[in-house]
Structure 1
Amino acid sequence: MESQHLVTLAKQFGAPLYVYDAAKIASQYQRLTDAFEGVGKLRLNYAAKALSNLSILRFMNHLGSGLDTVSIQEVKLGLMAGFEPESIIFTPNGVSLEEIEEASALGIQVNIDNLSILEQFGSKHPDVPVCIRINPHVMAGGNSNISVGHIDSKFGISIHQIPHLLRIVELTNMNINGIHMHTGSDILDIDVFLYASEILFETAKNFKDLDFIDFGSGFKVPYREGDIQTNVEELGKKLTKRFNEFCADYGKELTLAFEPGKFLVSEAGYFLAKVNVVKQTTSTVFASVDSGFNHLIRPMLYGSNHEIVNISNPDGRERYYSVVGYICETDTFGSNRRINEIAEGDILCFKNAGAYCYTMSSNYNSRYRPAEVLWLNGRGHLIRERENFDDILKNQVDVKHLFETSRKEVLK
């Protein structure tokens, strides 16, 4: 998106504000589809946890995507957004048997990642198709917080537990129709991912009636100019060839599935915040904005780098700033960043704000969460209203009648 459009949206809808570029989402979806054009059956299941706004889900459905969900609430959002139940996969972690049964009763494909629930579900529902999540014990990502396929991860059934898994399947006579893995986000080396895929292929040989193999996702996107990213085109060529070979040996054309989340929406997202104060200290120039980690927590939580641009002064000379928020503790978006000269009232744009940004926001410090806008066909469409004070009070129960007596009476 062009800076002038973002400035216009900030004036129209106010700041702070999340903006999502529909054209970028569509181009990322097409890029991944093109990379695997040699696969007979391909299913891209958008990972709803990345950005779960109902209008974004509707747009993904419009593109032809399936949906990857991790909670029963995401399942219900997906159904409300128009996804058919059979196009939704439910891949939770550590949830109750009752939640998995609730999803299954809605016609959703369930994906189970532990032996305990697998045995319980199989004993009660042997005829229901079930996918199994395997932990390949492969570290394919960079940040340990978002790499989930390594040996110490809580996710998936260990490949060393395959004999136990097979015993459960045999004793319950379960219907296993899919095998799944997810190594985590920020895949840096596609050869490591392909190595993990071989583990998944080897595991799949144990099951004779599969419909699909799900390779998760975790494709890395660039966060700054020149940043490394997953070469999905090279991965597409290599994995397509290997997948087709496996299907030929297996004797059946299976569906190759992925669960892209960040890859589809990260670069499409922009977070806009207004500068409240420019503050010079003895060693630093701070640009304090009308936001904080209550709106964008990833820099403080993960140490993630979001490029910050002064879209109010695109031609100004560059100076060094530490961009900070208004939360009443350490709240830093970026330290010593080269940004075009900032004045109070300017609008700063945080890039790569589409994935795991609004969805991880909160009302910390009793602040309102911002509005969301979808940029589509040259226009901004409001897809979530800015919160107000009524939203802060919603669901709170005021028990002031308990304190209408004296302090001694209340505390006795």
Structure 2
Amino acid sequence: MFSIQNYTVESLASQFGTPLYVYDGNKIEEQIGKMRTAFAGTNLKLKYACKALTNINIMKLMRKNGVDIDVVSTQEAHLAILAGYQPHQIQYTPSGVAFAEIQEAVALGLRMNLDSLPLLEKVGQTYGNSLPVCLRINPHIMEGGTLKISTGHKDSKFGISIEQAPEIYEIVQKYDLKVVGLHQHTGSDFKNANVIISAAEKLFDLAFKYFPNLEFIDLGSGFKVAYHEDDHITDMDKLGKGVVKVFNEFCAQYGKEVELWFEPGKFLVSECGYLLTSANVVKHNPGRNFVGVDSGLNHLIRPMMYDSYHEIINGSNPDGEEKEKYDIVGYICETDTLGKDRTIPTVKEGDIIVIKNAGAYGFSMASNYNSRFRPAEVLIYNGAAQVIRKRETMEDILKNQIVLDI
């Protein structure tokens, strides 16, 4: 029977019910350690991109391990503060938000990462040089899987085009802006370690030409994790050696040591997460078998939204010799395929079907579509399993609705 740490999935399902998100906290710590090892020899700072998984307890675990935080909304910032972070530990990287949210972020004392010329201009007009700011640069690099998850290519909405460097500098000079950091993010799932080195070198060129007083260079993240046994992943050792070499050479030429920042999200939490579901029905149609589970795109939208692959196993019978090919489908009234043409040990009604790599962008993108409840979340850390979010009830569905006398 499949286990997470010392808990079988059937015991977890029995105790906490399904569908259920389960996170292995020690796996998160293992991933943090891998990053620190890969980039040893630099003044490294990790910022957890918390949009991947925003449960306060996951944030607290990151803070316990000395990982700061990157947020994309002031709501995430408030969660981070509740988790114990100080405002100066929070990097705020908005995209196309109203200026009122920028003002809220400034009032909170967050570190600002600005991603457009109009926003840079408005911050200069409003705050002058009173704020330290970081600039998000679009390096015009196409990496990170499909267009849906690539953010550093020329046609992406994210960042200020590297071709607009003179215009950036003009605004910086106009308002005497205090630029302390340069940032880029190519997107998730890049496989070629050289791509982040190429992006870094573009930021180095900007630093030499325009920005003599930087405190850090932020290379984002996007490291590819394994979604199945033979999957290609980012070679962290190769990446680390290459980045450390060019970064230290940059610091020597720049004349000062600056911090090297990364913003891992998926890399830290993807492999820690499992979505446990129950097989509601096993349906044998002519030419195709279906396993219908008690979850769906409302709880894990990535397969339908990104065509992403998640390994799926029969947690109740992981080593069964008799196998069949199934489509694993959800209970939502849409085409709702979690996994297609999966050959796994024979499934019977009531078996626990486990979807792996569900820690990143699983619960954080979940919804109440079809008025379904969102699942409970459980953290297993140092051998203890604890609920970190209750399963929703009908009260949660109704609590913000106003019933009129119609």
Tell me which interval the TM-score lies in, with the shorter structure as reference length: over 0.9
1:335 paired with 2:340, answer: yes
Which residue of 8, 11, 14 maps to 1:11?
A: 14
Structure-1 separation of matches of 2:121 and 2:18: 50
1:396 aligned to 2:401?
A: yes
For residues 55 and 357 of structure 2, what CA distance do their matches in structure 1 show? 17
Structure 1 residues 302-330: Cα deviation after superposition (integer angstroms, max 9, x where no partner): 00011001011123222111110111111
SS of aligned partner of 1:266 = helix
Alpha-carbon distance in structure 1 between the residues aligned to 2:300 and 2:361: 9
2:196, 2:25 → 1: CA distance? 29
Q: 270-279 vs 312-321, which deviates more?
A: 312-321
AA matched with 1:225:
E
Fraction of identical pairs, as percent: 53
**Aligned equivalent of 1:277:** 281
Deviation at 1:191, TM superposition (A): 1.3
Match of 1:137? 140
Alignment of 1:153-302 (within 5 A): 153-205=156-208, 206-302=210-306
The residue correspondences of 1:27-176 to structure 2 (distance < 5 A) are: 27-39=30-42, 41-125=43-127, 126-176=129-179
- What CA deviation, in whole Å up to 9, does each residue of 1:215-252 have, x standing for no partner? 00000000000100001111111111111111111111
Q: After the TM superposition, which parts of structure 1 deviate over 4 Å for at least 4 consecutive aligned residues?
A: none
Read off the aligned partner of 2:65 and give its amino acid letter.
L
**Contact kept? 2:9, 2:352, Cα under 8 Å:** no
1:291/1:326 contact within 8 Å kept:
yes
Contact persistence 1:318–1:338 (CA under 8 A): yes
> What amino acid is aligned across from residue 48 of structure 1 in structure 2?
C
Shift in Å at residue 144 of structure 1?
1.2
SS of aligned partner of 2:271: coil
Distance 1:189 1:290 in 2: 37
SS of the residue aligned with 1:200? helix
Tell me the distance in 1 between the aligned counterparts of 2:249 and 2:104. Answer: 37
- Contact 2:9–2:316 under 8 Å retained in 1: no
Give the Cα separation in 1 of the matches to 2:381 and 2:199: 38
Contact 1:140 1:193 in 2 (8 A): no
Partner of 1:406: none
Code of the residue aligned with 1:379 in structure 2: it is A
In structure 2, what is the Cα distance between the partners aligned to 1:248 and 1:105?
A: 36
Q: Post-superposition shift, 1:108?
A: 1.0
Shift of 1:106: 1.5
Structure 1 position 190, deviation (Å)? 1.2
Structure 1 vs Structure 2 CA RMSD:
1.0
Unaligned runs of 5+ in 2: none
* 3-state secondary structure, aligned to 1:253: coil
Partner amino acid, structure 1, of 2:157: K
The AA in structure 1 aligned to 2:45 is R
**Unpaired stretches in structure 1, ≥5 consecutive residues:** 404-412
Q: Distance in 2 between matches of 1:357 and 1:276?
A: 21
In 1, the alpha carbon distance for the partners of 2:256 and 2:99 equals 32
| Partners of 1:115 and 1:165 within 8 A in 2 | yes
8 A Cα contact 1:273 1:347, kept in partner? yes
Once the two structures are superposed, residues 14-36 of structure 1 have per-residue CA deviations (whole angstroms, 9 ceiling, x without a partner) of: 00000000110000000001111
- Amino acid paired to 1:42: L
Give the TM-score of the pair, scaled to structure 2: 0.97
- Stretch deviating more after TM superposition (346-355 or 230-239): 230-239
Q: What are the superposed Cα offsets for residues 52-89 of structure 1, whole Å, 9 maximum, x if unpaired?
A: 00110010000100101000000111111011211110
Quote how far apart the aligned CAs of 1:109 are: 0.5
Q: Secondary structure at the match of 1:312?
A: coil
1:322 aligns with 2:327: yes
